[in-house]
Amino acid sequence: MLVRAPMRLSVRRIEHFINEKQNWIQKKQAEIKSKIPPKQDYASGNQYLFLGERYPLLHIESGNPLNFDGQSFQLNIQHKGNKAFHWFYKKEFIKTAIPLLEQFAEKHGLNYKEVRFKAQKSRWGSCSASNNINLNYLLIMAPISVIEMVIAHELAHTVHKNHSKVFYELLTTMMPEHKQADVWLKQHSRLLHNL
Ligand SMILES: [Zn+2]
């Protein structure tokens, strides 16, 4: 490290200053490391989430990019791990979410136009002014109650375009335990983005 300092500063003071800065930098680096999960390498034996449970990953040589048999995931090593998981999670989320969306909408007399599925960094779902709904398919890693909560939340927005008291009253009617699901999602948000 090159440090420029006025001539009159003593070497001792400069050293002290550098030490203090280094301690601070090391502390900050350790803090950052502890918050960010390590980057995925899709190694055999790693654990991955599906509907709130963790399952180990095995490597295979052929077949679908990724299979799931209820006990483990099997990654076809001809495919990139990241792409294979996105492909699988999206496919499974669509299968899970569409019936839930239709059930909630029918039961509570709510109408939505179209639904789209994409992986997003910052949102779990959204509902446009014209009642098109977007859902984040990474939610397939969460327990079913969390998926239901996000779907109910976006459907409630087809009536109330805000987070007012009446919005939450409707959401509570649709899903009385929505708060617990929301807590789970906030606590696991970083994990669900670690693909
Ligand atoms: Zn909202």
Distance CA 93, CA 194 (A): 17
The confidence score (pLDDT) of residue 30 equals: 67
Confidence of residue 11 (pLDDT cuts 50, 70, 90): confident
Distance CA 138, CA 124 (A): 8
Compute the distance from residue 167 Cα to the ligand 1 centre, in Å. 9
Compute the distance from residue 164 Cα to the ligand 1 centre, in Å. 10
Distance CA 6, CA 74 (A): 62
Which residue's entry shows tokens 């999602």? 185
Compute the distance from residue 179 Cα to the ligand 1 centre, in Å. 13
CB atoms within 10 A of CB 75: 26
Where are any strands of DSSP class E within 111-164?
115-117, 125-127, 133-135
Distance CA 164, CA 31 (A): 37
pTM score, two decimals? 0.81
Class of residue 108 by CB neighbours under 10 A (exposed 0-12, middle 13-18, buried 19+): middle
Compute the distance from residue 24 Cα to the ligand 1 centre, in Å. 39
Torsion angle, alpha carbons of 132, 137, 142, 144, to 10: 50
Compute the distance from residue 171 Cα to the ligand 1 centre, in Å. 10
State which fold the 82-192 domain adopts: Zincin-like (3.30.2010)
The confidence score (pLDDT) of residue 122 equals: 87
Digit-coded pLDDT (tens) for 25-78 = 777 776 665 555 567 899 999 999 999 999 999 999 999 999 999 999 999 999
Please compute the mean of the pLDDT values over residues 184-194 and round it to a whole number.
94
